[in-house]
Structure 1
Amino acid sequence: MTKQMQSQLVLKNEDAALHLLDQTMGYTYQAALRAVAQLGVADYLADGPKSVVDLAQAVGAEPQKLQRLLRVTATRDIFREVEPGVFELTPAADYLRTDADHSLRSAVLMLTDETFWRPIGELIESARGNPPFRHLYGKSFFEYWSQAGAQAEDFHVGMSSMSEVENIFLVRSYEFPDGATVADIAGGFGGLLLRVLQTNPSLHGILYDQPHVLERNRLGELADNSRWELSSGDFFKSAPKADIYLLKYIMHDWPDEQASLILKNIRKAMNPGARILIMDPLIPEGNTPHSGKLMDLLCMGIYEGGRERTKKEFEQLLASADMRLNRTIDTGCYVSIIEACAV
């Protein structure tokens, strides 16, 4: 081949072209991760490395195909091939065990459920102003799960699994004032409030949510029913009186108008000197990688107008409710604490 012919086979920015093609196949990794989580592979590696043949027999899979799944997850340090055809747990893969402390298997299965990934595949609808989830399922995300019956348990268990890990980062990052009343707004089963009360013995807690959610609360695990109470209501209409308000993954569910209404209702109810702790990803400016930017696209796919926000966007949202951003707290994970108070 002549040099002239070779010159015709040179691409401008060749590595960039290959990088682009590589990025288009990213979903295959999550598919592999979901498959090995569904198979329960991690449970069979708890006592040490095993051959893919033994693993396949244990989980009911074909050895060659299981190896192909595991070698993909191993490229991101979830499982490790220690010798040809033999795999072991990594610290990340250990969290896929069903019996692990703070197991994340349910969270992985929730986040890779079709109700999350299908809307992501239809983000073009969102870009055109059509909510992807409603486009696919004929109803909103919240309507879908409220009507899902027994299947909804998978969603709630997944959220609880995800939160158990996140809550450790959040609670240790904030110094709660002694003797304060802490209200967890739309706090679900109360996992976050439970963690706050367990680590702060002088606090009193209020779990605020809808009646059918409150009846499944976990606060009895505190073993002191005098330190907490349940309050049912609609945050678009009211809020309980308190000194500290927890809003974890609430603001990102809603567009500004509805998010502002929630804050205004809290503003009316809050005690003098009270604080609101918004617990959402805080999106950095520029090209910095951040898990919150990925979660923002999840919001774009499954919610109707919900999104993650930058610091400036939080400041504008709070100002609409006669509040101000007091400070932001880096918790060491992708969820930040945005502390706000009345103007």
Structure 2
Amino acid sequence: MDTTDGRDIAGEPDITGQLIEHALGHLFSAALRTAARCRVPDLLAAGPRGAAELAEATGTDAGHLRRVLRYLATRGVFREDETGAFHLTPAADALRLDVEHSQHAAVLMLTDPTFLRTSAGLEETVRKAGPSFERIFGEPLFAHLAKDPELRELFDSGMTSLSARVDAVVARTYPFPGQGRVVDVGGGRGGLLLAVLRGHPGLAGVLFDQTPAVSSHVLAGDEAVRGRWSAESGDFFTEVPGGGDLYVLKHVLHDWPDEDCLRILRNCRAAMARDARVIVVESVLPEGNAPHPGKAMDLAMAAVVNGQERTREEFAALLAAAGLRLTRVLPTAAFPSVVEAVAA
């Protein structure tokens, strides 16, 4: 069988080759992590370089490094030319540390052995309808993070990196009001709130999350938002700050099953000012077989935290059960959409 062009001798697709490549998909994650940790994208910022030169700069073996980069080039991460030199591609460029919205920390988080072990336990998640993370590590993710400062820092940095472009896109896409009080519920270090306040000088904001995230927020050092924000620590399962005109939940609900999401949403509903709105920034899964990054993230949420990504219809039902009415879903230039709701 000749599979050099992806088809067998009868002209049919090489299903065996495709399945083998799919089964070895974990090696793509490992190769991506290797390139990021070796800082190869940063070394290529000044121009293409061969494997020998890159290996000398990174303290690696030239032959093995070339094999990693050659594999990544088949997926559009780097490009190898006819001389054997490797070039940056848009995907590789996003792994540089010195670019805006760098995904370097996000890739290191998502490919960390902690989460790779969790993904390897997906079968157990399916069979037992619960996160493999908890069975592997003996406790839920957020309890585990509270006991492991190094992993917590990796997680927070990775989430900040993953969110950086999303924050900018959402701040531009959603028609935020000219005035009022925005409450960013579970807002982490405050990247989205910062982007919103920068772009809307008539708004004030509250960053609300657990102490470890809030204690390292990014709001204090920005003169453009001075005097227009506050940071509060608390538990969104108990209550959220009251009197907001807009409640923002970005990448919060996908961490939790429906019953927990309802507790969060009902607390937002109870705290809302008159005529306030809630916006949920999450992947909105397309129906059918259409590919979407959220469908991979959906499996990660199931394995790590017993959470899930949702369709428009699932969001509408969830919001309705919390006393809210879905008004619209706004796609963005990033992978999440903005789901807007008002009091029912």
Matches of 2:61 and 2:83, distance apart in 1:
16
CA contact (8 A) 2:165 2:334 kept: no
Q: How does 1:7-26 map to 2 (within 5 A)?
A: 15-26=14-25
Count of residues in correspondence between the two structures: 334
2:118 partner letter = P
- Counterpart of 2:167 in structure 1 is 167
Matches of 1:307 and 1:12, distance apart in 2:
40
Most deviating of 131-140 and 10-19:
10-19
CA contact (8 A) 1:188 1:213 kept: yes
Q: Deviations over 1:69-109 (max 9, x none)?
A: 00011112211112333112112211212222222111111
Alpha carbons of 1:19 and 1:212: their partners in 2 closer, same or farther (altered >3 Å)?
Answer: closer
Matches of 1:14 and 1:182, distance apart in 2:
53
Question: Are 2:292 and 1:290 aligned?
Answer: yes
* Cα displacement (A) at 1:283: 0.7
Q: Bigger radius of gyration, 1 or 2?
A: 1
Question: Are 2:147 and 1:147 aligned?
Answer: yes
Most deviating of 148-157 and 279-288:
148-157
**Over 6 Å off, 4+ runs:** 9-13
Matches of 1:14 and 1:202, distance apart in 2:
58
1:91 partner letter = P
- Counterpart of 1:131 in structure 2 is 131
Question: What is the percentage of aligned positions where both structures have the same residue?
Answer: 43
- Normalised by the length of structure 2, the TM-score is 0.93
- Counterpart of 1:234 in structure 2 is 235
Question: Are 2:184 and 1:184 aligned?
Answer: yes
Q: Deviations over 1:106-163 (max 9, x none)?
A: 1111111122221111111111224200121111111111111233212211111111
1:281 paired residue among 273, 283, 304: 283
Q: How does 1:309-328 map to 2 (within 5 A)?
A: 309-328=310-329
CA contact (8 A) 1:208 1:230 kept: yes
Matches of 1:49 and 1:147, distance apart in 2:
43
Unaligned runs of 5+ in 1: 1-8
User: 3-state SS of the aligned residue for 1:97?
Assistant: coil
User: 3-state SS of the aligned residue for 1:87?
Assistant: strand
User: 3-state SS of the aligned residue for 1:340?
Assistant: strand
CA contact (8 A) 1:116 1:301 kept: no
Alpha carbons of 1:62 and 1:212: their partners in 2 closer, same or farther (altered >3 Å)?
Answer: closer
2:91 partner letter = A
- Counterpart of 1:4 in structure 2 is none
1:164 partner letter = A
User: 3-state SS of the aligned residue for 1:226?
Assistant: coil
Question: Are 2:257 and 1:258 aligned?
Answer: no
CA contact (8 A) 2:244 2:273 kept: yes
CA contact (8 A) 1:282 1:308 kept: yes
- Normalised by the length of structure 1, the TM-score is 0.93
Matches of 1:276 and 1:228, distance apart in 2:
19
- Counterpart of 1:302 in structure 2 is 304
User: 3-state SS of the aligned residue for 1:259?
Assistant: helix
Q: Deviations over 1:219-244 (max 9, x none)?
A: 11331432111222211111112011
Unaligned runs of 5+ in 2: 1-7
Matches of 1:62 and 1:26, distance apart in 2:
23
Matches of 1:265 and 1:315, distance apart in 2:
17
2:204 partner letter = H
